[in-house]
Amino acid sequence: MPAAKTPNERDSKLASWLGEAHSKEAELEADLTAHIAMTQKPPYKKRLQRHLKETRDHKRRVASRIKKLGGGQGLIGATRSAVGEATGKTVAAVKGQVGVARAVATEQAETHLRNAEEELREEHVEIALYTRIEAFAAQVGDRETAQLARGIRRDEERMAKFLQAELGRLVKEIVRAEIPRDQRATSSRSQRSSSRSQSTTSRSSTSRSRSSASRSSSSRSSGSRGAGGSRSRSGSGATRSGSGGSTRSSRSRGSGRG
């Protein structure tokens, strides 16, 4: 039977950090299970259920990688893994009791909001944890661990993005349910409509001003052309008159000579 692999410094460090991730996944698994039981909003509940499946898969894959690195070999490794998972579930159980007490004391929308806030915080902890593992694995040339950490991190980032948006939606629900209309901010839709109306009015006023200025300019130009035409015609008449007079004078002188 081949001897068990003895992990070197690199593998020991990675196995230790992956052990932290495994404990966090166990904690989140218990958290999500408790939150799903308290959640009555169907789309939110469905997304939590989906992420619970992802979390269980993450925990399984991380445990498998720890074992390949030699961190799960023998009694000591198995004991560390069991203790880490038990610790995660114990922390989650305490938090779950707090969540149940909160649900009893608050409205459903408020419970959803507080749970989503807690879930978002935990997702960011996991994102930081897997970012650290990925960076270390890349620096020491462990592509398999780096790929594992990167894939899980992206799942956590997608969940965090959903929770970020969900917090906004839950806050809106609380505002609609608890805050009178006269104490709310004007909706962005109304503000955009008002802005468009003001813009249209401004453009209409500008257009009228330009039209009026154009008519005024046209009127002045027309008057100027009328005066110039009159002077031109008058001058032409004088020229003709002068020409006629010169001709008559010439004829008169010719007649006298004859």
The three state secondary structure string of the chain is CCCCCCCCHHHHHHHHHHHHHHHHHHHHHHHHHHHHHHCCCHHHHHHHHHHHHHHHHHHHHHHHHHHHCCCCCHHHHHHHHHHHHHHHHHHHHHHHHHHHHHHHHCCHHHHHHHHHHHHHHHHHHHHHHHHHHHHHHHHCCCHHHHHHHHHHHHHHHHHHHHHHHHHHHHHHHHHHHHCCHHHCCCCHHHHHHHHHHHHHHHHHHHHHHHHHHHHHHHHHHHHHHHHHHHHHHHHHHHHHHHHHHHHHHHHHHHHHHC
194 in a structural domain: no
Give how many domains the chain has, as a whole number: 1
Low-confidence ranges of the chain (pLDDT < 50): 1, 74-79, 81, 91-96, 98-105, 230-232, 234-242, 246-247, 250, 252, 256-258
Residue 210 falls inside a structural domain: no
Query: Residue 231 falls within a domain, yes or no?
Result: no
Structure tokens at 65: 């990688």
Which pLDDT score is estimated for 98? 44
The answer to whether position 86 is within a domain reads: yes
* pLDDT tens per residue, range 81-136: 455 555 555 544 444 454 444 444 356 889 999 999 999 999 999 999 999 999 99
The span from the CA of 159 to the CA of 120, in Å, is 8
Q: Which residues constitute the domain of residue 120?
A: 11-181
pLDDT of residue 6: 75
Q: Is residue 222 part of a domain?
A: no
Residue 47 lies in a domain: yes
| pLDDT number for residue 71 | 84
CA atoms of 131 and 139, how far apart (whole Å): 12
Could you tell me if residue 155 is inside a domain? Answer: yes
Distance CA 241, CA 228 (A): 20
The whole model's pTM is what? Answer: 0.62
End-to-end CA distance of the chain: 157
Q: Answer whether residue 129 is part of any domain.
A: yes
CATH number of the domain where residue 163 is located: 1.20.1260.10
What is the per-residue pLDDT for 24?
97
pLDDT at 146: 98
State how far the Cα of 117 lies from the Cα of 11, in Å rounded to an integer: 35
CA distance linking residue 103 with residue 43, whole number of Å: 19
Amino acid identity of 75? Answer: L
The whole-number pLDDT of residue 186 equals 82
